[in-house]
Chain A
Amino acid sequence: MSFTVPANLEGEIDELISHYPVKRAASLMVLHAIQEHFGWISQEAVEWTARKLDLQPINVYELVTFYPMLRQEPMGKYQIKVCRTLSCALGGAYELHQHFCGKLGLDAHKHGPQTTQDGKFTVEFIECLASCGTAPVMMCNDDFYEGVSHAKADEILGGCK
Chain B
Amino acid sequence: MSTAATTETKPAPAAIEKIMVKVDGREIEVPRLMADWSGKLTPTTMIQACELAKTDVPHYCYHPKLPIAGNCRMCLVEFGTPALGPDRKPILNPDGTTKIAKSPRPAIACATPVSPGMEIYTNTPGVKQMREGVLEFLLINHPLDCPICDQAGECKLQEYSVDYGQSASRFVEAKVHKPKVVDLGPRIMLDDERCILCTRCIRFTKDIVGDDALGIVNRGSFNTLTAFPGKAFDNNYTLNTVDICPVGALTSKDFRFQMRVWFLKETRSVCTSCATGCNILIGSREEKIYRYTPRENDAVNGPWMCDYGRLNYKWIGRADRLKDVLVRNVGQASSLSHSQEKSETGRMPVLHSKVTWTAALSEIADKLKNAPAGSVAIVASARQTNEELWLISKLKAKLGAISDSISRTGAGDKLLVSTDKNPNTNGAQLTGVAANSMGTNLPKIADGIRTGKIRTLIVFGEDVTRHGIGVDLLGKLETLIVSDILPNATTELAHYLLPGCAHAEKRGTFTNTKGRVQKFMKAVEPPGDARPEWEFLHDLVYNVTGQDGFLTIEGLFNEMAQDVPAFNGLTWANLGDTGVTVKT
Whether B212 pairs with A62 at a CB distance below 8 angstroms is: no
Q: Is A3 an interface residue, CB under 8 A from the partner?
A: no
Shortest CB-to-CB span from A67 to chain B, Å, is: 8
Report yes or no: A57 in contact with B231, Cβ–Cβ below 8 A.
yes
Q: Give the residues in chain B near A62, CB-CB below 8 Å.
A: 215-217
Interface 1/0 per residue, A32-66 and B, CB below 8 Å? 00000000000100100000000111110110011
Beta-carbon contact of B219 and A58 below 8 Å: no
Q: Are B218 and A58 closer than 8 Å at their CB atoms? A: no
User: How many A-B pairs fall under 8 Å by CB?
Assistant: 32
Complex partner residue of B227 from A43, A58, A65, A66, CB under 8 angstroms? A58
| B213 located at the interface, meaning its Cβ lies under 8 Å from any Cβ of chain A in the complex | yes
Complex Cα spacing A35 to B229, Å? 20
B228 at the interface (CB under 8 A from A): yes
* The one of A55, A56, A66 that contacts B217, using a Cβ cutoff of 8 Å: A66
Q: CA of A65 to CA of B216 in the docked complex: distance in angstroms?
A: 9
Interface centre among B213, B218, B228, B229 (most CB of A within 10 A): B228
**Residues of chain B with a CB closer than 8 A to A66's CB:** 217-219
Among B212, B214, B217, B231, point to the contact of A65 (Cβ < 8 A).
B217
Q: How many residues of B contact A (CB 8 A)?
A: 14
Complexed CA–CA distance, A43 and B217 (Å): 14
Of B212, B218, B226, the residue contacting A59 (CB under 8 A) is B212
Q: Could you tell me the distance between the alpha carbons of A55 and B218 in the complex, rounded to whole angstroms?
A: 19
Closest to B202 in A: A58
B219 contact set on A, CB distance < 8 A: 65-66
- Tell me whether A65 and B228 are in contact (CB under 8 A): no
Q: How far is the CA of A58 from the CA of B232 in the complex (A)?
A: 12
Which of chain B's residues have a CB closer than 8 A to the CB of A58? 212-215, 226-228, 231
A-B contact pairs, 24 of them (CB 8 A): A43-B229, A43-B230, A55-B212, A56-B212, A56-B213, A56-B228, A57-B228, A57-B231, A58-B212, A58-B213, A58-B226, A58-B227, A58-B228, A58-B231, A59-B212, A59-B215, A61-B217, A61-B228, A61-B229, A62-B215, A65-B218, A65-B219, A66-B218, A66-B219
Query: How many residues on A have C-beta within 8 angstroms of the other chain's C-beta atoms?
Result: 11
Which residues, 197 to 232 on B, are CB-close (under 8 Å) to A?
212-219, 226-231
User: Taking CB as reference atom, which chain B residue is nearest A61?
Assistant: B228
Min CB distance A55 to B, Å, is 8
CA of A156 to CA of B396, assembled, Å = 98
Question: Closest CB of chain A to B252's CB: distance in Å?
Answer: 22
B260 to chain A, nearest CB (A): 34
> CA–CA, A56 to B213, complex, Å?
7
Tell me, in angstroms, the Cα distance from A57 to B217 when the chains sit together: 12
B176 nearest CB across to chain A (Å): 11
Nearest CB in chain B: distance from A8 CB, A = 28
Please provide the 10 A-B residue pairs with the shortest distance between their CB atoms, ordered closest to farther: A65-B217, A58-B215, A57-B228, A56-B212, A58-B228, A62-B215, A65-B218, A66-B219, A61-B228, A62-B217
In the assembled complex, the Cα of A65 lies from the Cα of B214 at a distance in Å of 14
Give A95 to B228 CA distance when docked, in angstroms.
38
Q: How far is the CB of A85 from chain B (nearest CB, A)?
A: 16
In the bound assembly, the distance between CA atoms of A55 and B213 in angstroms comes to 11
Q: How far is the CB of A22 from chain B (nearest CB, A)?
A: 15
B215 touches A61 (CB 8 A): yes
For A56, list chain B residues within 8 Å (CB).
Answer: 212-213, 228
Provide the residues of chain A in CB contact with B216, threshold 8 Å: 62
Residues of B within 8 A of A59 (CB): 212, 215
Instruction: Give bound CA distance, A62 to B222, whole Å.
Output: 12
Q: How far is the CA of A61 from the CA of B212 in the complex (A)?
A: 12
Which B residues lie within 8 Å of A65 (CB)?
217-219
Separation of A149 and B229 alpha carbons in the complex (Å): 43
Most chain-B CB neighbours within 10 Å: which of A57, A58, A59, A61? A58
How far is it, in angstroms, between the C-alpha of A58 and the C-alpha of B216 when the chains are bound? Answer: 9
Determine the distance from Cα of A43 to Cα of B229 in the docked complex, in whole angstroms. 8
Q: Which residues on the B side are within 8 Å of A57 (C-beta)?
A: 228, 231
B550 shortest CB reach to chain A, Å: 56
- By a CB distance below 8 angstroms, the chain A residues around B228 are 46, 56-58, 61
CB of B522, distance to nearest CB on chain A (Å): 44
Q: Name which residue of chain B comes closest to A67, CB basis.
A: B219
How many angstroms from the CA of A62 to the CA of B197 in the assembled complex? 14
**In the complex, A55→B226 CA distance in Å?**
16
Question: Using Cβ atoms and an 8 Å threshold, which residues of chain A touch B213?
Answer: 56, 58
| Most chain A CB neighbours (cut-off 10 Å) among B214, B215, B216, B231 | B215
